[in-house]
Amino acid sequence: MGCMATAESFVLAIGTKKGLWLATSQDRQQWSFSGPHFLMSEIPSIAIDTRDGRTRIMVGVRSEHWGPTVAHSDDLGATWSEPEQGAITFPVDTGAAVERIWQIYPDAESRPGVVWAGAEPISVWKSTDGGEHFELNRGLWDHPHRSEWGAGYGGAAAHSIVVSPAGDKVHIAMSTGGVYRSLDGGTSWEPRNKGISAYFMPDPNPEFGQCVHKIAADAAVDGRLYAQNHHGVYRTDDNGENWNSIAEGLPADFGFVMLTHPRREGTAWVVPLKADGERIPPDGKLAVHRTDDAGGTWKRLDTGLPGHEYNSVLRDAASVDTAEPAGVYFGTRGGTVFASADEGETFREVASHLPDVLCVRAAVLSGAAASGA
Amino acid sequence: MLLPSILQPLAGGRPVLTAPAAGPLTVASLLDAVTGGYPVLGRRLRDETGALRRFVNIYVDGDEVRRLHGLDTEVAPGQEVLIIQSVAGG
């Protein structure tokens, strides 16, 4: 064993409208699939938590008949566990019931066991036991703006959570409501949408009410985040105090996806769609766009993608891994999943004819985790 | 209470759950009694507010309880209660 290089392998999780598929690969080229897991339940959220010396896959599961729940697997999907009382359930006094888990977000490496979640109705949750039990964030639940938040087409949910390395600053995004920020680790929340358009409202520049589709933090610059809005692509360099357009150079400013590099400053990916009223890739030609200068310029990436594509890519149906170079993965509502092992320069179709892809996540497994031990 | 086959694994594989009753129960209290030992089954049928999930139908003597008194519908000792998922989805 001593002379063997550390084995590195990859896991890809694809959540669809009718179940979950998992795939593993040694080279990010050939993938070995298992599934469907949770057949006939939608999987709108996935997290692959590689902290604490184990690989835990957590999924938000929702059956039209039997409701939502959270399940986890510590053996790459061979077996699944579900806490008996449910991992995410509203306290009785709220009178609310969970409709759908939209986001599961493992916190920083330095805070193992801490996992955040975003749900519908609009709510944020936090677990300190690796995602087995979550507590409702009361500051956001009791926020005075709540009655004015709305519902996007997919439902009213908190769908993006970004926690700063120190854990003090937490940015969330909700549809509709926009970006809210906490400076005290999630105790209190203020809207931070200055510069983000809400062209669909009587006042196009409200304090809140925007339909921010996804936010992601820059890997290396403190206080810098990127946002894909319901028309508009933005960057903030001051923790959301001001948002400035970085849409110039993109074929369209509509879309749902916003990904950032795991390590490199200034690198982000979007998947533009033509418009609110025309939710297809511009000209029916699917392309990912990457910036390496924080939105100053964009590079079109479509090598390996089909000649035409009329399906959209949903906000969480895209992911990066943490390898070098980083892998980029995304799936369409037409059930096709593409993977790139070179930061988007070339893509390969890794799955097709699946149900609508709702969520994609990928991770690097190393050493014991990779061998399944 | 008769379970559809898809839910039986959540009740230890049992197709029928029974509850002792000295007198009439409500559907809600019957659910409390039979799912007490099977909390995951309980969550599949009712959400955390206690409401019956939208596409879960419960029949008492052939009548769907939403057309009777909902979860307050009375169940007499010996009566059969049937749980069926409604036709939904695509």
Domain residue ranges in chain B: 5-85
- The order of strands in the sheet holding B63-64 is B63-64, B56-60, B81-85
Identify all chain B residues contacting A67, using CB atoms and an 8 Å cutoff.
43-44, 47, 53
Type of residue found at A32 = S
**Min CA distance, A341 vs chain B (Å)?**
35
DSSP A166: T
Residue A369: pLDDT over 90: no
pLDDT tens column, B23-79: 899 999 999 999 999 999 999 999 999 999 999 999 999 999 999 999 999 999 999
**Which of A218, A310, A297, A206 is closest to A250 using CA atoms?**
A297
pLDDT digits (tens, 9 = 90+) for A290-320: 999 999 999 999 999 999 999 999 999 999 9
User: A201 pLDDT band (50/70/90 cuts)?
Assistant: confident
Distance CA B12, CA B3 (A): 12
H/E stretch holding B58? strand B56-60
Query: For A220-253, how does the pLDDT look when each residue is reduced to its tens digit (9 = 90+)?
Result: 999 999 999 999 999 999 999 999 999 999 999 9
Whether residue A97 contacts residue A52, with contact meaning beta carbons closer than 8 Å, is answered with: no
Q: Are B65 and B72 in contact (CB under 8 A)?
A: no
**Structure pTM?**
0.95
Q: For residue A312, what are its two tokens? A: 């959209």
pLDDT exceeds cutoff 60 at A4: no
**Which of B10, B35, B47 to mutate to test binding with chain A, by most A CBs within 10 Å of its CB?**
B47
- ipTM of this predicted structure: 0.93
3-state SS, residue A219? coil
CA–CA gap between residue A187 and residue A16 (Å, rounded): 33
Nearest to A64 among B45, B49, B88 (CB): B88
Q: Which CATH topology does B5-85 take?
A: Ubiquitin-like (UB roll) (3.10.20)
Alpha-carbon distance of A109 to A114, in angstroms, equals 9
Chain A residues near residue B12 by CB distance under 8 angstroms = none
Give CA–CA dist A58/A38, Å, rounded. Answer: 13
In this prediction, residue A2 has a pLDDT band, given cuts at 50, 70 and 90, of very low
SS3 A174: strand
3-state secondary structure of A60: strand
Nearest chain A residue to B89 by CA: give it.
A64
A359 DSSP β-pair partners: A15
Per-residue pLDDT reduced to its tens digit, A80-135: 999 999 999 999 999 999 999 999 999 999 999 999 999 999 999 999 999 999 99
Number of C-alpha atoms within 13 angstroms, CB side, residue A93? 4
- Cβ pair B47:A65 closer than 8 A: no
